[in-house]
Amino acid sequence: MLKVITAPETLAIEGQSIFLAGSIEQDTAENWQDRLIRQLSEAAWQGTILNPRRAEWDASWEQVATNPQFAEQVNWELAALENADRIALYFDPNTRSPISLLELGLFARTGKMIVYCPTGFWRKGNVDIVCQRYQVRQVESFEELVKGLREG
């Protein structure tokens, strides 16, 4: 059974878990998370998906540590990243994705990342070099990302 936990729900992880890191950029990025969840579900993947794309996100929230909603989101994401068995990281070429770049830096050495960074992403060279240096698995398409997650 596939279970989806969305921020800021309690991290009640069952089975293998995947955190969906990558482009959101206050909802300007494509909703690739829903597409990935749908494809894993259709493939009968079993485990828990940790999805940071929060349904009730308010872009007017001040992004400071003293803002309770913002702090809750960031702390949820960090806890989910730390507890996930695997991290799927997608860089939407139509975004800048500074937080996704931060996530890559924080978790590149964990051995649990799989990265899809298409041609056109503004810092693809940096992503490629970090992945090469720290032996982070990279894939060349969204379909390969899904397949890599299914297969482990």
Residues 25, 33 contacting (CB under 8 angstroms): no
Strand partners, 115: 89, 138
Q: What is the mean pLDDT of residues 112-122?
A: 98
Give the CATH number of domain 2-54+64-151: 3.40.50.450
Q: Residues of 68-95 as b/e, b for ≥16 C-beta within 10 angstroms?
A: eebeebbebbeebbeebebbbbbbbeeb
For 24-68, write each residue's pLDDT tens digit: 876 678 899 999 999 999 999 999 999 999 988 888 899 999 999
What's the predicted TM-score (pTM) here? 0.96
Helix (H, G, I), strand (E, B) or coil at 104: helix
Residue with tokens 């994401």: 77
Helix boundaries (H) for the chain:
32-42, 68-83, 98-107, 124-133, 142-151
**Boundaries of every domain in the chain:** 2-54+64-151
Mean pLDDT of the chain: 95
pLDDT band for position 90 (50/70/90)? very high
pLDDT band for position 91 (50/70/90)? very high
Model pLDDT, residue 110: 98
Per-residue DSSP letter, 47: E
